[in-house]
Chain A
């Protein structure tokens, strides 16, 4: 039988469409436990490739005949080997192009909405890692919010849309992934903005984001308002785009809230986090659509693949917004934390411009799941 190939984009569409897929993950057990390709209707079996070197006979009965089968490994090589062995045994299977490395880097652009004055808003879903970037387009101009380091995806998309990237924003100093902000600004000549309180140690020039500041994209004035909302980091800033979309960075997610500990200051920042969530956001219109910088679980995806919900919905459904008792809140966000993201210290230093790792090293630093939230 044939060995087929499936790309990260193919698998992303299966997740969006809630299709079923059987994944034979041939990485070693600890890597599989740490992070895998997840979808509503995906099923997994983990058998390390090095246990299959003498043959695949022992696992044949574990592979369902009524589902598409995808073999996944870290970088591709081992999945090709195992897929070929399964194919020789008479099965119709695919290997995953580029492995988990490609999965970590894939960005799927999804249109969120048209904007009031003829502009458009796109969300770039980094499906394997749970990062979300945004592009606001209006009248030939574009702004990018929280770009990942795969900057070619944004420049290519801007080219297809016939727009020039004028402004690049980071809502905060990221700790879980490497920002493409400064690189993208350099490549396009755009202005790079970040919150000054997160930038005290950075080695590059930036335009300081100030509370109440406003940037206009295109002649038809699609405004981006900066809203100071500390808690995940001391400088964390949200944006309100086109009076309708609230970009919350890593402060508020769909099913969880930001964690305050990634700069080692959980105790100090809890009060800021609570103030941002329970006072500043509470004062905003419930009709605003929250667009966060991350998602954690596939349940947070809407049917069209976007990640977003109204502020009103979150105030009624998100557990992190409904803890009345301040002490209980403090306890939850300081004691109940998931493990810290892989290499997060090095990632912070890279995002400050203090270190400049090679591409391959940046890739390795980012491998693994997203862990910015606390539920």
Chain B
């Protein structure tokens, strides 16, 4: 997937992954994709809930070797 921006939030504890994601999404245009990497397990449900409450779309998410990856389409 073609991401307009990649955010590395690995090693960060809640609430930082979302705080950084929120800032990063301001830097891209509507319809573009933000790719987020995180290691905080809580990021999964929180990013999903944050994306839907903010009108963004969580297009895909994966988990590999403890790293969670999310692709969020800006709304």
Contacts and interface: CB of A to CB of B under 8 A. Distances in A.
Interface string A52-89: 01000000000000000000011101100100000000
A73 B46 CA distance: 11
A30 interface: yes
Contact of B45 (A31, A49, A51, A78): A31
A104 B27 CA distance: 39
B51 to A, nearest CB: 10
Contacts, number: 42
Interface string B1-34: 0000000000001111011001000000000000
B59 interface: no
Contacts of B53: 48, 50-51
A50 B53 CA distance: 9
Given A77-B13, A78-B14, A28 B46 contact: yes
B75 interface: no
Nearest to B47: A50
A152 interface: no
B15 A78 contact: yes
A21 B41 CA distance: 29
A287 interface: no
Given A50-B22, A50-B53, A364-B41, A77 B14 contact: yes
A328 to B, nearest CB: 39
Contacts of A74: 14, 42
B46 A75 contact: no
A43 interface: no
Contacts of B46: 28, 48, 50
Interface residues of A, number: 16
B58 to A, nearest CB: 13
Contacts of A19: none
Nearest to B53: A51
A30 B14 contact: no
B68 to A, nearest CB: 13
Interface in B28-61: 41-42, 45-46, 49-50, 53
Interface string A251-279: 00000000000000000000000000000
B13 A75 contact: yes
B49 A53 contact: no
Contacts of B16: 77
A29 interface: yes
Nearest to B46: A28
Contacts of A364: 41
B50 A75 contact: no
Contact of A30 (B15, B19, B22, B49): B49
B39 to A, nearest CB: 11
A75 B42 CA distance: 9
Interface string B62-74: 0000000000000
A242 B16 CA distance: 53
Contacts of B15: 49-50, 53, 73, 77-78, 81
A187 to B, nearest CB: 28
A30 B15 CA distance: 17
Contact of A50 (B13, B18, B41): B18
A321 B39 CA distance: 48
15 contacts: A29-B49, A30-B49, A49-B18, A50-B15, A50-B22, A50-B46, A50-B53, A53-B18, A53-B19, A73-B14, A75-B13, A75-B14, A75-B42, A78-B14, A364-B41
Interface of B: 13-16, 18-19, 22, 41-42, 45-46, 49-50, 53
Top 10 A-B residue pairs of the complex, sorted by shortest distance between their CB atoms: A28-B49, A78-B15, A50-B50, A77-B14, A50-B18, A77-B13, A74-B42, A49-B15, A78-B14, A81-B15
